[in-house]
A and B are shown apart, each in its own frame.
Chain A
Amino acid sequence: MTRRDEILDFLGHYDGPEVRIMEVCGTHTAQIVRTGIPSLLSPKIHLISGPGCPVCVTVTDYIDRLVELSLAPGSTVYAFGDLLRVRGSRYSLSEAKSLGGQVRMVYAPADLLMYAEREPDVCHIFAAVGFETTVPVYADLIQEAKRRGLANVKLLTSLKTMPGIVRWLCRENEKAAPDKKVTGFLAPGHVCAAAGYRDYEPIAEAFQLPFIVAGFSADLLLAAIYGLVREQGRGVVRNFYPQAVTRDGNPAVRAAVQEMFSPCDAAWRGFGTVPGTGLCLRPAFASFDAGSEGLTRDHVAGGCRCADVLMGRISSRECPLFGKICTPENPQGACMVSQEGSCFNHFQEGVPY
């Protein structure tokens, strides 16, 4: 038997107490779906998609502000693909575009600089959403804009950090019914590569939950799930992705981020405002801010239960809107929009987990 076969055999036949593992990384969610891992697990092992997709945790106030900026004369909004389809209280950026809004989809924030030089009279605003992985990219963008003397480049930030929200989830988890409690976390490989995993150690300890830093191939994910089943009930952090992750992360990246951004409160779709779970531009860089403060209200469509989905309280299928009025073509909640979103993946793939 190969190592993979042993792991598959164990995970397929596991018959102990129920295991409920949350992943908090959108790329993990996408990879789990792509590799068909849920179909290989015993019915006693459940995988839950937590708030790891930056698009899925964005509040409507933020989208509304982007829409407003795109429709205002003299400004153009730049965003990554997924964000275009998320609806604010009224419109998505995609819809704003068809109303004459100036919106450009880009693959890298640096593309904005080319336009900023070409169109000096226009204010070029990047919709800066993301976690620790994406923040360094925005830091680079601003440094480069500064270097080139471009005063017409700005960010509208909705940046989130992982450890704080994981701690909050663990606290909420204590209140959940016994059969809905999360019993372990797949720690986000990309986030930890940048920021390290030491911040999870006190959380694991405090809540007596295992965390395993996982990579992205099917074998690495299976190994991490196996590890979490083995470590149930223990407050430990293990690094199963040493190829890319160290305890302290990447010091250069951490320094670049710290120079420009400071911790702040952040508004999360469905969770409300959670202290210390966001990043915003430091006062020294305030001229690059397109007005990111105070965008905290969230108009969720009636009946949408994104928040319960992201906390693992219900599966996507248990949401009354799922597949009926909420579909990838007409998403009501952000979880149905992104390819990393839990509901989108459930709908697209019909995965029964």
Chain B
Amino acid sequence: MDRVTMADGAGGVSTQRLIDSLFAKYLGNDYLSQMEDATRVPGGAELALTTDSFVVTPIEFPGGNIGRLSVCGTVNDVLMSGAKPRYLTAGWILEEGLALSVLESCVRAMAETAKEAGVFVVAGDTKVIENRSGKEPGIMINTAGCGVFDEKHRPVSADLVKEGDVILLSGNLGDHHAALLGKRMGIENDIVSDNAPLSQMVEALEQAGVALHEMRDVTRGGLATVLNEFAESTGKTFVLSEEALPVSPAVRSFAGILGLDPLYMGNEGKMVCIVDAKDGDRALQILQGSRYGENAAAIGTVTKAEGGRPGVVLATKVGGRRILGPLYGEGLPRIC
């Protein structure tokens, strides 16, 4: 049988076979192989916990698949708290009729990405449901992540952000969003998703002792929405330079055709961080020297809220000022 059946989720021999032949094979480690109802792991004084569900269609897209994505999203969320990610759990929901070859490539991608990110998948679950949509059978994955704080890995927080801080962006905007949309629309181009774990670059910043004040990965809602959250939580104004914003030419033209704004497009392997001005240049060099950080840029500074109203302002190329609000609705393409 080369497809997932309802029996594979029934908890019996078939389920065990699926676990052994795929999940344990690729994801196995000393923790997972305890095979108990819950896994015992070494912890730390203070932990960071997060969870995220992945329901992306298509499940395989240029530059990645849902297995890789489900690690990146959760690992990056743990990283952004300042903690060092250690463990993941993975709940897989498979639709009946899913090709095992597709499942295998997603499990393998999860394993490879977890290894790259330096985390162990320590617990998991598999369920099979009927294919209710009548379309290609899909996969949904929930991952939970656990990280630990220690001397080198300290919490970031909005309270640390002050006027004069530098805003750094780790790379080009909009790649994941454009890759997914392009695939759904059947458009041929070179755009690939940027889905990636940011462990290496964050670790490098932390090891170098950079004064990191706040971090956030740039996902749904895009950079403008993330910075609006920062404006709200810090009470400051974030001023960006349009000239400095990194966007690849392919994504720029794709977004232009659809009337999308890269400032509101999602990524899955980019972060924005707020660092002390004294560390700005050094932090930028570290980012640019890190894996996935070659297009990193200093994109703006934190200033006092004008008239007591915090917000996000873009200094445009022609010298204009544009106030960037958060994303409303679904970021739908406009009409003409």
Contact = CB atoms under 8 A, between A and B. Distances in A.
A340 B317 CA distance: 21
Given A222-B318, A350-B311, A129 B328 contact: no
21 contacts: A26-B336, A34-B261, A35-B318, A36-B319, A36-B321, A37-B320, A80-B334, A80-B335, A81-B335, A85-B329, A85-B332, A218-B316, A218-B317, A218-B320, A328-B329, A338-B335, A339-B259, A339-B332, A340-B334, A347-B325, A349-B324
A40 interface: yes
A189 to B, nearest CB: 11
A85 B258 CA distance: 18
A40 B333 CA distance: 28
A131 interface: yes
Interface residues of A, number: 46
B336 A8 contact: no
A178 B261 CA distance: 38
A8 B319 contact: yes
Given A131-B336, A328-B328, A340-B335, 13 more contacts: A35-B317, A35-B322, A38-B320, A39-B321, A40-B319, A82-B334, A85-B329, A107-B258, A130-B335, A218-B320, A329-B329, A347-B325, A348-B328
B320 A26 contact: no
Contact of A134 (B259, B321, B333, B335): B335
Interface of A is mostly: helix
Nearest to B258: A107
Contacts of B321: 36, 39
A160 to B, nearest CB: 11
A26 B334 CA distance: 9
Per CB-CB distance, the 3 closest pairs between chain A and chain B, nearest first, are A36-B320, A81-B332, A328-B328
Interface in A216-245: 218-219, 222
B184 to A, nearest CB: 9
B62 to A, nearest CB: 17
B159 interface: no
B250 interface: no
Contacts of B332: 81-82, 84-85, 105, 339
Contacts of B336: 26-27, 54, 130-131, 133-134, 190
Contacts of B314: 36
Interface in B124-171: none
A235 to B, nearest CB: 28
Interface in A99-113: 105, 107-108
B185 interface: yes
Interface string B298-336: 000000000000010011111111111100111011111
A55 interface: yes
Contacts of A44: none
A351 B325 CA distance: 11
A245 B321 CA distance: 30
A190 to B, nearest CB: 7
A301 interface: no
A83 interface: yes
Counting chain A CB atoms within 10 Å of each CB, which of B324, B332, B336 scores highest?
B336
A35 B333 contact: no
A192 interface: no
Given A329-B328, A339-B259, A107 B333 contact: yes
B230 to A, nearest CB: 17
Interface of B is mostly: loop
A165 interface: no
A95 B96 CA distance: 30
A304 interface: no
Interface of B: 185, 258-259, 261, 311, 314-325, 328-330, 332-336
A24 to B, nearest CB: 13
A33 interface: yes
A314 interface: no
Given A8-B319, A37-B320, A338 B325 contact: no
Counting chain B CB atoms within 10 Å of each CB, which of A4, A108, A130, A218 scores highest?
A218
A186 B319 CA distance: 21
A222 B323 CA distance: 19
A30 interface: yes
Nearest to A216: B256
Interface string A249-260: 000000000000
Contacts of A130: 335-336
A350 B323 contact: yes
A37 B314 CA distance: 12
A83 B316 contact: no
A39 B314 CA distance: 12
Contact of A4 (B311, B318, B325, B335): B318
A81 B330 contact: yes
A219 B318 contact: yes
A333 to B, nearest CB: 15
Contacts of B320: 35-40, 218
Interface string A1-41: 00010001000000000000000001100100111111110
Given A85-B329, A107-B258, A37 B318 contact: yes
A350 B335 contact: no
A4 to B, nearest CB: 7
Contacts of B316: 34-36, 218
Interface in A306-340: 327-329, 338-340
A329 B326 CA distance: 11
Contacts of A347: 325
Contacts of A27: 259, 336
A348 B325 contact: yes
Nearest to A7: B318
Counting chain A CB atoms within 10 Å of each CB, which of B314, B321, B323, B328 scores highest?
B328
Contacts of A33: 322
Nearest to B186: A111
B335 A82 contact: yes
Contacts of B318: 4, 8, 35-37, 40, 218-219, 222
A195 B40 CA distance: 71
Contacts of A38: 320
Given A35-B316, A107-B258, A351 B335 contact: no
A54 B258 CA distance: 16
A302 B325 CA distance: 27
